[in-house]
Chains A and B, each alone.
Chain A
Amino acid sequence: MLSVRDLTAGYGAVTALDGVSFDAAEGEITAVLGANGAGKSTLLRTISGLVRPSRGSVTLAGLDLGTVPVEGMAAVGLAHVPEGRGVITELTVEENLRLGALGRGGRVGAADLERAYSLFPILAQRYRASAHVLSGGERQMLVIARALLARPRVLLLDEPSLGLAPRIVVQIFELVQTLVRADGLTVVLVEQNARSALSIANRGVVLNLGRVVVSDEAAALAGNERLRHAYLGF
Chain B
Amino acid sequence: MQQLFTTLLTGLTLGMVYAAFALALVLIWRATRIVNFAQAPMAMLTTYVALVLIEAGYSYWLGFAAALLSGLVLGALVERFVIRYVDPRSEINPVILTLGLFIVLHALAALVFGARYRSFPAPFGLRGFQVGDTTIALTGFGIFTILSVLAVVVLLVLLFRYTDVGLKMRASAFNQEVARLLGVRVGRMLTLGWALAAVVGSLSGLLIAGGGLVHPSFMDGVVVYGFVAAVLGGLDSPVGAVAGGLILGLSLSLVSGYVGSQLVSLAALAILMAVLLVRPGGLFARVRERRV
Q: Which residues of A contact B (CB under 8 A)?
A: 48, 50, 70-75, 79-80, 82, 86, 88-91, 95, 98-100, 102-105, 107, 132-136, 139, 146, 150, 163
Contact = CB atoms under 8 A, between A and B. Distances in A.
Interface stretch (B91-99, B125-133, B177-185): B177-185
Contacts of A90: 170, 174
A71 B186 contact: yes
B68 interface: no
User: Which of A73, A90, A100 neighbours the largest number of chain B CB atoms within 10 Å of its CB?
Assistant: A90
Given A71-B183, A86-B178, 11 more contacts: A50-B180, A71-B184, A73-B181, A91-B167, A91-B171, A95-B167, A99-B179, A132-B290, A136-B292, A139-B292, A150-B183
Nearest to A136: B292
Given A98-B167, A132-B290, A82 B184 contact: no
B181 A102 contact: no
A100 B182 CA distance: 6
Interface string B162-178: 00100110110011011
B217 to A, nearest CB: 36
Contact of A99 (B167, B185, B186, B289): B167
Interface string B142-179: 00000000000000000000001001101100110111
B290 A133 contact: yes
A61 B174 CA distance: 33
Given A71-B180, A86-B175, A86-B181, A102 B167 contact: yes
A58 to B, nearest CB: 15
Contacts of A134: 292
Interface string B101-134: 0000000000000000000000000000000000
Contact of B171 (A79, A99, A139): A99
Contact of A88 (B175, B186, B289, B290): B175
B174 A72 contact: no
Contact of B170 (A80, A91, A150): A91
Q: Which 9 A-B pairs have the closest CB atoms?
A: A103-B183, A74-B183, A136-B292, A103-B182, A86-B178, A70-B180, A90-B174, A80-B181, A88-B175
A99 B290 contact: no
Contact of B178 (A73, A82, A136): A82
Contacts of A80: 181
20 contacts: A50-B177, A50-B181, A71-B185, A72-B183, A74-B181, A74-B183, A75-B183, A80-B181, A86-B178, A86-B181, A88-B175, A88-B178, A90-B174, A91-B167, A91-B171, A99-B167, A100-B182, A103-B183, A104-B183, A150-B183
A114 to B, nearest CB: 19
Contacts of A73: 181, 183
B292 A99 contact: no
Nearest to A50: B177
A124 B289 CA distance: 22
User: Which of B164, B168, B290, B292 neighbours the largest number of chain A CB atoms within 10 Å of its CB?
Assistant: B292
Interface string B10-23: 00000000000000
A150 B174 contact: no
Contacts of B179: 88, 99
B174 A91 contact: yes
Contacts of B175: 86, 88
